């Protein structure tokens, strides 16, 4: 299977599609593309990170760049530290929610954001040129740069969250399941500094994840049991690189990662009204909440870079994606599970209601997510048939999103895996199941 290279970064099977050599090449070209002299690097806990991290660091060093190596840290910490250290950019070695046999590289600009669509297109041109002329990159190599480790790499990130949100003496009991990934130390540290009592599972660094990487309800049942058994106020679950946050309420029910952003939007808009940005696959609950505060919602193509670009354009006060990715620009310009957790904790500390009561006060939206193992090319062949079978207003900007007064369905090729994703939402549970079944039948025919 070839490497997947999109605006969401580079991904592939470790040691096969992505190894020391390919990682070094992409890093060299990225350093050249940025005209960089100082770059920040971090990684998650995957077994393949030593080889691929070494490739990225050596690639940067070969181009005369000095590297600040943060080691194992959440992805949002690397993004945060690019700005904090006034670096020219950076890279995170991670495959996020992909299975452990995968790895990847996410590329960060000097703005402290992942590169946007326009930058990705230009970067891609450089990649294609140097792939065709491999000897040319040697002409741009400089002195060999240095690599230095940064002490206490997530301390400044956490301190900023604590100070900005004024998290102190919260006295909440919180369960944490970090899937033995990059957030295994950072999230418990944040909670302890905020005055919470922390109950941990899967919070030691391990190369093999003890549960499937995505923090969806079916994968975090042990955290649900922990919250219920210990009578905790809530549970927080992460994906392996710590940019996605999923929540378990005080009754031990996994409320679904879509509600993470909804809760964060609700709290932030209650304090500071302004535009909200999310993607086409995120729950309509965001629109419901924003309407209550008389704030506009803008929707983009799926992909963090697309959401952040629109947030910058409209000066959004908050944004994110329905996979548990909260983007709060006053702290960080990326999906940040640590910041998301801080916002939820603050909401609970300021509200006399339990988390389950807050969630149950929202109208019920039923969403199902599924996928089909077909290529984007095969999806294009099915496009006209899909449009015949689904009637409604169509958005063509990211696959097909068909919207009616009672439901929406979004069918699109993934940016990070060789699959087509199907997401549907309605206030009618039966209707959602019917929509997913119809889409899968078309794509599988």
Closest C-alpha to 371, from 413, 420, 415? 420
The helix-helix angle for 75-84 and 337-350 (nearest 10°) equals 100
Closest C-alpha to 237, from 333, 337, 131, 328? 337
DSSP-based three-state secondary structure for 366: strand
| Active-site position among 96, 109, 246, 426 | 96
CA 168, CA 158: separation in Å to the nearest integer? 13
Radius of gyration of the chain (CA): 21
CA 395, CA 391: separation in Å to the nearest integer? 12
In this structure, are strands 407-413 and 420-426 parallel, antiparallel, or unpaired?
Answer: antiparallel
At 424, phi and psi to the nearest 5?
Answer: -135, 150
DSSP-based three-state secondary structure for 2: coil
Q: Known catalytic residue: 96? A: yes
Residue with tokens 């609950």: 285
Closest C-alpha to 190, from 340, 350, 351? 340
CA 336, CA 243: separation in Å to the nearest integer? 5
In this structure, are strands 400-403 and 90-93 parallel, antiparallel, or unpaired?
Answer: unpaired
User: What are the C-alpha distances in Å from 133 to residues 120, 122, 215?
Assistant: 20, 17, 42
Catalytic residue numbers, as ranges: 96
């Amino acid at each position: 299977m070839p490497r997947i290279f999109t605006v969401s970064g580079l991904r592939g099977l470790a040691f096969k599609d992505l190894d020391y050599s390919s990682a070094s090449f992409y890093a060299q070209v990225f350093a050249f593309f940025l005209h960089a002299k100082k770059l920040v690097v971090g990684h998650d806990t995957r077994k393949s990170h030593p080889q691929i991290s070494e490739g990225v660091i050596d690639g940067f060093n070969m181009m005369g760049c000095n590297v600040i190596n943060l080691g194992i840290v959440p992805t949002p910490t690397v993004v945060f530290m690019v700005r904090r250290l006034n670096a020219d950019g950076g890279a995170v070695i991670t495959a996020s929610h992909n299975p452990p046999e995968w790895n990847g590289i996410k590329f960060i600009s000097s703005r402290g954001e992942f590169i946007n669509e326009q930058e990705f297109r230009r970067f891609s041109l450089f990649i294609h040129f140097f792939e065709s002329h491999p000897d040319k990159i040697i002409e741009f190599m400089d002195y060999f740069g240095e690599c230095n480790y940064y002490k206490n790499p997530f301390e400044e990130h956490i301190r900023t969250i604590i100070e900005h949100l004024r998290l102190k003496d919260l006295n909440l009991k919180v369960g944490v399941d970090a899937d033995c990934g990059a957030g295994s130390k950072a999230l418990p540290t944040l909670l302890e500094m905020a005055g919470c009592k922390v109950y941990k599972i899967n919070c030691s660094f391990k190369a093999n994840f003890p549960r499937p990487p995505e923090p969806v309800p079916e994968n975090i049942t042990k955290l649900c049991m922990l919250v219920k058994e210990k009578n905790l106020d809530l549970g927080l679950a992460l994906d392996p690189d710590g940019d996605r946050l999923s929540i378990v309420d005080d009754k031990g029910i996994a409320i679904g990662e879509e509600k993470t952003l909804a809760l964060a939007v609700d709290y932030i808009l209650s304090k500071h009204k302004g535009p909200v940005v999310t993607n086409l696959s995120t729950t309509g609950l965001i629109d419901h909440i924003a309407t209550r505060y008389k704030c506009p919602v803008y929707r983009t193509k799926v992909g963090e870079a697309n959401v952040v670009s629109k947030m910058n354009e409209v000066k959004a006060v908050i944004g994110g994606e329905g996979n548990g990715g909260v983007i709060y620009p006053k702290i960080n310009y990326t999906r940040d599970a640590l910041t998301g957790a801080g916002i939820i904790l603050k909401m609970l500390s300021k509200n006399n209601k339990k988390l389950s009561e807050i969630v149950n006060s929202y109208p019920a939206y039923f969403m199902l997510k599924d996928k089909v193992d077909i290529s984007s090319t095969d999806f294009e062949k099915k496009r006209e048939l899909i449009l015949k079978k689904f009637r409604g207003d169509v958005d063509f900007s990211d696959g097909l999103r068909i919207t009616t007064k009672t439901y929406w369905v979004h069918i699109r090729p993934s940016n990070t895996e060789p699959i087509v994703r199907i997401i549907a939402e309605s206030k009618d549970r039966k209707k959602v199941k019917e929509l997913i079944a119809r889409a899968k039948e078309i794509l599988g025919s």
